[in-house]
Amino acid sequence: MSQTPVTNPTPSPPALNVLGQPLEVCGCEPLTGWYRDGSCRTDGQDQGMHTVCCIVSEVFLTYSRAQGNDLSSPVLAFSFPGLKAGDHWCLCARRWLQAYEDGMAPPVRLEACEQSTLTVIPLEVLQGHAAPGNGDPDAA
């Protein structure tokens, strides 16, 4: 009886950030990202495109709640503790752009924003909202 050989699929290339460099971790406390691995990586199933690594502020959380997206309240069914000012979080690119257009966008960590973000938000706009020192994920 012969066995079909097992072949390893071609590994996918490492995710890149908006600067064309390897994607850095956004944040792990709370654990963020489409894959809940701390990274703002995405795939075709992520209709929200959770690719913008931001550092949330109280002003942004209040704004988001007023837009119908309450990010500060815990949702235990999804093990979501709720966000507080200073947390690093992978936001949907269009949601961040909406906040930008309303003058409420939180600062971003360019090294942790996935490259596909640039299909929605121009690099110059992101650079204009880069966190000072571009935000240390371990400091939050």
Taking only the tens place, the pLDDT of each residue in 77-103 is 877 889 999 999 999 999 999 999 999
Query: If pLDDT is split at 50, 70 and 90, which confidence band does 52 have?
Result: very high
Instruction: Evaluate if residue 63 carries a pLDDT over 50.
Output: yes
Instruction: Evaluate if residue 3 carries a pLDDT over 60.
Output: no
Q: CATH code at 125?
A: 3.30.56.110
54 in a structural domain: yes
98 in a structural domain: yes
Instruction: Evaluate if residue 73 carries a pLDDT over 80.
Output: yes
Q: Decide: residue 55, CB within 10 A, 0-12 exposed, 13-18 middle, 19+ buried.
A: buried
26 in a structural domain: no
CA distances from 73 to 46, 65, 81, 84 (A): 22, 9, 7, 9
Q: How many domains does the chain have?
A: 1
Tell me what the pLDDT averaged over the chain comes to: 88
Instruction: Evaluate if residue 76 carries a pLDDT over 50.
Output: yes
* Residue predicted with more confidence, 12 or 106: 106
User: Domain containing 85: what range?
Assistant: 50-132
Q: Looking at residue 70, what is its pLDDT?
A: 94
Omega before 107 cis (within 30°)? no
Token pair for 34: 């489409």
